[in-house]
Amino acid sequence: MIDRLAVLGVGLIGGSLARALRAKGLVREVVGCGRDEGNLRRGVELGVIDRYTFDPAVAAAHADVVVVAVTLGATADVLARISPALGPQTIVTDVGSTKQSVVAAARASLGARFPRFVPGHPIAGGERTGVEASNPALYERHRVILTPTPDADPAAVAVVEQMWIATGAHVSRMEPAHHDEVLAATSHLPHMLAFALVDCLAGLSEAGEIFEYAAGGFRDFTRIASSSPDMWRDIALHNRDSLATMCARFEETFGLLRRALDAGDGAALRAMFARAKDVRDAYLARSGR
Amino acid sequence: MIDRLAVLGVGLIGGSLARALRAKGLVREVVGCGRDEGNLRRGVELGVIDRYTFDPAVAAAHADVVVVAVTLGATADVLARISPALGPQTIVTDVGSTKQSVVAAARASLGARFPRFVPGHPIAGGERTGVEASNPALYERHRVILTPTPDADPAAVAVVEQMWIATGAHVSRMEPAHHDEVLAATSHLPHMLAFALVDCLAGLSEAGEIFEYAAGGFRDFTRIASSSPDMWRDIALHNRDSLATMCARFEETFGLLRRALDAGDGAALRAMFARAKDVRDAYLARSGR
């Protein structure tokens, strides 16, 4: 049971967490913090938060658990602002899509409170944003990765872990650097490819016609190119090294495909396509989807 | 009304066309041709075809319309085999995903019958294949592109156009070369990227873990990597020039993204992502999906 939960950033992610915990009766009071008063008021109306403030330090003071759910670009600033207000027992966690940069910011800002910071990343979301889109079932059967450092207080990690388990999520732990590599591969690189593909086609003289003739496969393939440009700029910059490494690996594989195509090497093309199909079909079979 | 329709290749595409025309009462008899007797028998049981043969020339003889719905790799051979059997009024059409290569094969094989060849490409399909997956509604509200050459007999083109309109498809016409460029952009390049991405990740040491942590966006993005390796080898080879050009354009755009990432240029990254999002959102709004 969390007596007072502070949610800094009452959007899809923070709002859904608050709703999930409320639905299980695991939180007594939720204090919201943000910059858009309309959104915060709506959060109160929807019962996601009980009250709100514009000052993260005020929201964090006397909270048992503080969830930093602002954009990656604002996270370091919010951590610095709440640091002086944190009580000795307050646990701080976050939901950012990259972990090394957040850990570095927390280490720099939180000082003696750093052991009670538990970095986290719920792998959930969607194209819809804002508290209006929040949903208590958002995390059910989704993965949440926690990346506590060796400095972390095991009791704080356990509280954050229990909190996410209560939402129905599957929680696992990883090193921050490993998290950033895995996410660069499964999420960040695919987003870069989708953005670059749509950009590339938009620049063609027949762009209008091209989009007109696009079929369902194209729609699925480019769905992630409709994601927030601000969020993805932040993710790309915050995971620059792992993402650059993964981009280079992709260019290498794509180069092999290009060379097979240029050489008219049907056997090599078929082998690549078959390997990809087998791997993807096996992944789908395992995940039961 | 088509008195006798020959469907060479009774799979998802050919089978669905036959079913759609039957459902509208627009065909009296359907003769199927293929190599897999089990599939052909199933086609008769399902009422997709009335009878079958293993010899495309036998199927095509005395047909009013012949639909070549075999793989791209087999199309030239089938056209050569049916050519001597075609009656003077028989119309031949195809469903291949590339059009310049098919037009060249038809020109080489059909001789004096070439004006009654109407190249076509229904933009429909799916991961499921075979007559079992065929569906009379497959083409409803889907695009069909016809690419008749200046030699084409307008009456033959009109028959094929009416046939596709009857299935509920939206039919348009293009030059074969233009078709191949547009499809390279909207379909063939995205497939190459999806295959290369899955291949690239499969080669990483943490591949098992990577697929385990992949979220919904990844699943959508890579769906097309589960397509048939044989079909995509054929498409890549048959549309090699247009596809190579489009791959090179993509590499250029991806290179710009890479350089912005390496330089930590958040403004450039955001601008690219925003442009892609705007274009895709506008495409979705127009297509009403």
| pLDDT tens per residue across span B221-263 | 788 888 899 999 999 999 999 999 999 999 999 999 999 999 9
**Do B170 and B182 belong together in one domain?**
no
**Do B133 and B239 belong together in one domain?**
no
For chain B, give the mean pLDDT. 94
A209 pLDDT above the threshold of 90: no
Binning pLDDT at 50, 70 and 90, where does residue B11 land? very high
% of chain B beyond a pLDDT of 70: 98
Q: How many other CB atoms sit within 10 Å of the CB of residue A140?
A: 13
**Do B238 and B131 belong together in one domain?**
no
Phi-psi region at B141: left, alpha or beta (left = phi > 0; alpha = psi -120 to 50): left
The pLDDT value recorded for residue B208 is 80
The pLDDT value recorded for residue B130 is 86
**Do A138 and A224 belong together in one domain?**
no
Q: Mean pLDDT throughout A238-261?
A: 97
Give the separation between CA A208 and CA A130, rounded to whole angstroms. Answer: 31
**Do B42 and B182 belong together in one domain?**
no
Give the separation between CA B19 and CA B281, rounded to whole angstroms. Answer: 35
For B243, nearest residue in chain A (alpha carbons):
A261
Binning pLDDT at 50, 70 and 90, where does residue A226 land? confident
* Strands of the A27-33 sheet, one edge to the other: A51-53, A27-33, A2-8, A65-68, A91-94, A117-118
Please indicate if any CB of chain B lies within 8 Å of the CB of A212: yes
For A123, nearest residue in chain B (alpha carbons):
B215
Which tens digits make up the pLDDT trace of B56-108? 999 999 999 999 999 999 999 999 999 999 999 999 999 999 999 999 999 99
Q: Is A286 exposed, middle or buried (0-12, 13-18, 19+ CB in 10 A)?
A: exposed
Q: Higher model confidence: residue A135 or residue B206?
A: A135
Which CATH number covers residue A68?
A: 3.40.50.720
A125 pLDDT above the threshold of 80: no
Number of domains chain B contains: 2
**Do A164 and A235 belong together in one domain?**
no
A156, A174, A192 - which closes a domain: A174
> Worst-scoring range by mean pLDDT, A187-196, A226-235, B45-54, B218-227?
B218-227
The pLDDT value recorded for residue B127 is 63
A115 pLDDT above the threshold of 50: yes
Residue A261 vs residues A16, B36, B196, B234: alpha-carbon distances, Å:
47, 30, 13, 11
The pLDDT value recorded for residue A127 is 63
> Worst-scoring range by mean pLDDT, A1-10, A54-63, B121-130, B143-152?
B121-130
Q: Do the chains contact at A209 and B182, CB–CB below 8 Å?
A: yes
Please indicate if any CB of chain B lies within 8 Å of the CB of A254: yes
B285 pLDDT above the threshold of 80: no
Q: Mean pLDDT throughout A59-86?
A: 97
Chain B residues with CB under 8 Å of A280 CB are 198, 222, 225-226
**Residue A66 parent element (H or E):** strand A65-68
Q: Mean pLDDT throughout B13-34?
A: 97
B289 pLDDT above the threshold of 50: no
B191 in Cβ contact with B247 (< 8 Å): no
Binning pLDDT at 50, 70 and 90, where does residue A222 land? confident
B126, B157, B174 - which closes a domain: B174
> Worst-scoring range by mean pLDDT, A108-117, B104-113, B197-206?
B197-206
Binning pLDDT at 50, 70 and 90, where does residue A232 land? very high
The DSSP letter of residue B46 is T
Give the separation between CA A106 and CA A108, rounded to whole angstroms. Answer: 5
Residue A130, classed as helix, strand or coil, is coil
Give the separation between CA B231 and CA B69, rounded to whole angstroms. Answer: 12
Give the closest residue to B8 by CA, choosing from B96, B85, B54, B69. Answer: B69
Residue range(s) defining the domain that contains residue A62: 2-174
**Do A248 and A195 belong together in one domain?**
yes
% of chain A beyond a pLDDT of 90: 84
Residue ranges of B 158-197 with Cβ closer than 8 A to chain A: 178, 181-183, 185-187, 189-197
Which CATH number covers residue B236?
A: 1.10.3660.10
ipTM tops 0.90:
yes
Please indicate if any CB of chain A lies within 8 Å of the CB of B258: yes
Strand partners of residue A53? A33
A289 pLDDT above the threshold of 60: no
B122, B143, B174 - which closes a domain: B174
Instruction: State the count of interchain CB pairs (< 8 A) between A and B.
Output: 288
A62 pLDDT above the threshold of 70: yes
